[in-house]
């Protein structure tokens, strides 16, 4: 067979020798891949994982480790929080939309407690402690936190607030390098190894192999590259794509999420969209290709105590919500223009708190003013614009209300003086959440709506529970949940 770098499918009849062979072949050894591997091996399949880098982990092992779970998990219960699958579903349908895959969200919420118990059974540790401060992550190794704005407007009025950000316990974490995600991946990778899952590293899949003697055009393997040489891998039962998002594919970002151009974050270079392209090469459907998680590079302890305004000096989001929502609103609706206005007292109060992301504290402020008028003029905002915003905000804040955006009383205090202005323009980045459309068994769906025989996918190369919105933990959440399903379904195929 000739050397290839194409994503076009290869015909099995052109391959005279397979370099590797297994029942289930999984591409990518991150969160979706490891969960698929465990379940496929438990179902009795011989499993081979192909990983592009030199070891297991992916973005998952660098991540903060939030797993979005609820419906009454033992951790929620132990910490005194009431939740139900129905309540969780109400939140997710609204907060992660518009346009969520309702069947998937329903299925995910119904299975969430079982999934938590499964993670614990694989050795993932959760500390029975709640972190209730604003933050991107808990400051220490606490196991539970609000991670999607559940307790803030508008969602607190739609579903009963419950924290669902479940975090594996990790001491001495290093944000962005080795956090809770490492303590999620480590026991899972060890479990997979214990079950006899084989892994081949430094091997990069490039195309799918289809059975040209079969009408269904079943996927029966992959072609990969290792150290510049082509490698062929036969999958007797099925192939699982678990190669991550397209955050680092410039062409795809330009085509689908242009606002995210040149600002990948919470992702790794290996997320080049290959899984999506390979599915598309066989006619797969995609969904929500314009959707993205958006991080806001600011300390939530400061954001919750200040006022965020746009280039016209107007507020546009309740500042006490999940900071990812502030990021999405800034990038998607304000042209990435935002400023934080905060008074000295609130700034000192924020600085006195603990935070896992203190490096986002951005000292010193770019502008200062003894009065709002002076700050407004220093910032070059149209005369009266910021003054009008603060006047309205302060008038209601004096009574602890925010009729414009619904900020909670505990975070709603009038701004005093002196004041500081922080420049938060271009302070966003993120990763894509759209991808291959899959069913509840993680089968990749053809544009006709039928599953593509022999092809499964999970994780960020698929469209999971998020459509437009995002909550921290939904990526590791649906990646692990539907990774398991992919492994089970692929292993169940009769070879
Ligand atoms: C700093 C940081 C913090 C984050 N915090 C959170 C959080 O708290 N909660 C949350 O839900 N999400 C978080 N995320 C995002 C989350 O880690 C990812 O979205 C998630 O890991 C996606 O799962 P996945 O299995 O699709 O991809 P990954 O876990 O990245 O696994 C994909 C694997 O596929 C491999 N691969 C890619 N291409 C190929 C190829 N051609 N052949 C073979 N292998 C290939 C990659 O090398 C990688 O190992 C964070 C990410 C980062 C970086």
pLDDT along the chain (495 residues), means of 10: 73 96 98 99 98 98 96 98 98 97 98 98 98 94 97 98 97 81 97 98 98 91 97 98 98 98 94 98 98 96 97 98 98 98 97 88 92 98 97 98 98 98 96 98 98 98 97 98 99 91
Helix (H, G, I), strand (E, B), or coil: what is residue 420? strand
On whether the CB atoms of residues 198 and 49 are closer than 8 A, the answer is yes
Let me know whether 163 and 305 are in one domain. Answer: no
Beta bridge partners of residue 17, listed in sequence order = none
Q: Which two tokens stand for residue 412?
A: 């709603």
Give the pair of three-digit tokens for residue 270.
Answer: 């290996």
Last residue of a domain, one of 426, 444, 468: 426
pLDDT value at position 5? 67
Task: Output the CA torsion 482→487→488→491 (10° steps).
Answer: 160
Cβ-in-10-Å burial (0-12, 13-18, 19+) of 151 comes to: middle
- Which residue owns the Cα nearest ligand 1 atom 10? 473
User: In the numeric block, which tokens belong to residue 94?
Assistant: 């609204």
Q: Are residues 279 and 319 in the same domain?
A: no
52 and 108 in a single domain? The answer is yes
Angle at 100 between CA 97 and CA 106, to 5 degrees: 120
* Binding site membership of 32 for ligand 1 (Cβ less than 6 Å): yes
d(CA 339, CA 111): 41
Q: Is the peptide bond before 98 cis (omega within 30 degrees of 0)?
A: yes
Ligand 1 centroid–CA 278 distance in Å is 18
Cα separation of 21 and 481, whole Å? 26
Structure tokens, 47: 């499993």
Q: Which of 408, 426, 444 is the last residue of a domain?
A: 426
Same domain, 331 and 463: no
Same domain, 158 and 103: yes
**Residues 6+ positions from 483 with CB-CB distance below 8 Å:** 31, 32, 33, 34, 35, 36, 39, 240, 242, 442, 458, 459
The label of the residue with tokens 């410039």 reads 250
CATH number at residue 290: 3.50.50.60
Give 426's DSSP letter: T
CA of 459 to the centre of ligand 1 (A): 8
CA of 492 to the centre of ligand 1 (A): 26
Q: Is 274 in the pocket of ligand 1 (CB under 6 A)?
A: yes
Same domain, 84 and 200: yes
List the beta strands (DSSP E) in 157-285: 165-166, 198-200, 204-210, 219-226, 229-241
Question: Rounded to the nearest 5 degrees, what angle is found at the Cα of 339, between the Cα atoms of 331 and 245?
Answer: 25
Using left for φ > 0, alpha for ψ between -120 and 50, and beta otherwise, residue 217 falls in left
User: How far is ligand 1, taken at its centre, from the CA of residue 344, in Å?
Assistant: 39
Query: Looking at the structure, do residues 309 and 229 belong to the same domain, yes or no?
Result: no
* Whole-angstrom distance, CA of residue 137 vs CA of residue 241: 29
Residue 368 is part of a domain; what is its CATH number?
Answer: 3.90.700.10
Same domain, yes or no, for 393 and 437? no
How many folded domains does the chain comprise? 2
Domain range for 41 is 1-297+428-495
188 lines ligand 1 (CB under 6 A): no
3-state secondary structure of 195: coil
Q: Are residue 182 and residue 98 in the same domain, yes or no?
A: yes
Nearest Cα residue to atom 1 of ligand 1: 176
> Are residue 434 and residue 467 in the same domain, yes or no?
yes
Query: Quick one: 375 and 467 in the same domain?
Result: no
Mark whether 308 and 443 lie in a shared domain.
no
Instruction: Give the pTM.
Output: 0.98
- The burial class, CB within 10 Å (0-12 / 13-18 / 19+), for 486 is buried
Q: Is 451 in the pocket of ligand 1 (CB under 6 A)?
A: no
Domain final position from 382, 400, 426: 426
Position 215 scores a pLDDT of 82
């Amino acid at each position: 067979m000739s050397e290839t770098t194409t994503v076009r499918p290869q015909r099995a009849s052109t391959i005279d020798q397979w370099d590797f062979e297994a029942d289930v072949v999984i591409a990518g050894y991150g969160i979706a891949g490891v969960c698929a591997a465990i379940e496929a091996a438990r179902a009795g399949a011989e499993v081979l994982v192909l990983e592009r880098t030199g070891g297991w982990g992916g973005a998952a092992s660098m991540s903060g480790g939030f797993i979005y779970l609820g419906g009454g998990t033992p951790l929620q219960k132990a910490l005194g929080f009431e939740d139900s699958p129905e309540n969780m579903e109400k939140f997710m349908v609204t907060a992660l939309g518009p346009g969520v895959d309702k069947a998937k969200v329903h299925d995910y919420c119904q299975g969430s407690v079982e999934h938590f118990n499964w993670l614990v059974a694989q050795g993932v540790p959760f500390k029975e402690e709640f972190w209730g401060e604003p933050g991107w992550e808990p400051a220490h190794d606490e196991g539970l936190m609000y991670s999607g704005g559940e307790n803030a407007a508008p969602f607190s009025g739609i579903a009963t607030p419950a924290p669902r950000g479940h975090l594996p316990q990790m001491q001495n974490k290093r944000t962005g390098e080795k956090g809770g995600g490492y303590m999620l991946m480590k026991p899972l990778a060890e479990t997979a190894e214990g079950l006899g899952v084989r892994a081949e590293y430094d091997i990069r899949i490039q195309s799918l192999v289809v059975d040209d003697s079969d009408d269904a055009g079943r996927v029966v393997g992959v072609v990969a590259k290792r150290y510049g040489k082509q490698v062929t891998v036969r999958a007797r039962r099925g192939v699982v794509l678990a190669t991550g998002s397209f955050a680092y594919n410039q062409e795809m970002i330009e085509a689908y999420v242009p606002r995210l151009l040149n600002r990948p974050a919470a992702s790794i270079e290996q997320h080049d969209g290959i899984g999506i392209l390979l599915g598309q090469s066989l006619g797969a459907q995609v969904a929500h290709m314009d959707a993205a998680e958006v991080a806001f590079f600011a300390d939530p302890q400061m954001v919750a105590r200040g006022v965020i305004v746009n280039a016209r000096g107007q507020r546009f989001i309740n500042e006490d919500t999940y900071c990812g929502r502030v990021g999405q609103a800034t990038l998607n609706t304000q042209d990435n223009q935002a400023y934080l206005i905060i008074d000295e007292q609130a700034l000192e109060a924020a600085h006195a708190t603990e935070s896992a992301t203190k490096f986002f504290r951005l000292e010193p402020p770019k502008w200062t003013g003894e009065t709002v008028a002076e700050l407004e003029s220093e910032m070059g905002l149209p005369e009266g614009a910021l003054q009008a915003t603060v006047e309205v905000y302060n008038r209601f804040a004096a009574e602890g209300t925010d009729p414009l955006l619904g900020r909670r009383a505990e975070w709603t205090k009038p701004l005093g003086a002196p004041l500081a202005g922080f420049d938060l323009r271009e302070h966003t980045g993120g990763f894509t959440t759209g991808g291959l459309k899959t069913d509840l068994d993680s089968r990749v769906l053809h544009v006709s709506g039928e599953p593509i025989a022999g092809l499964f996918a999970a994780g960020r190369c698929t469209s999971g529970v998020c459509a437009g919105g995002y909550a921290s933990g939904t990526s590791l959440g649906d990646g692990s949940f539907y990774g398991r399903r992919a492994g089970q379904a692929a292993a169940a195929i009769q070879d």
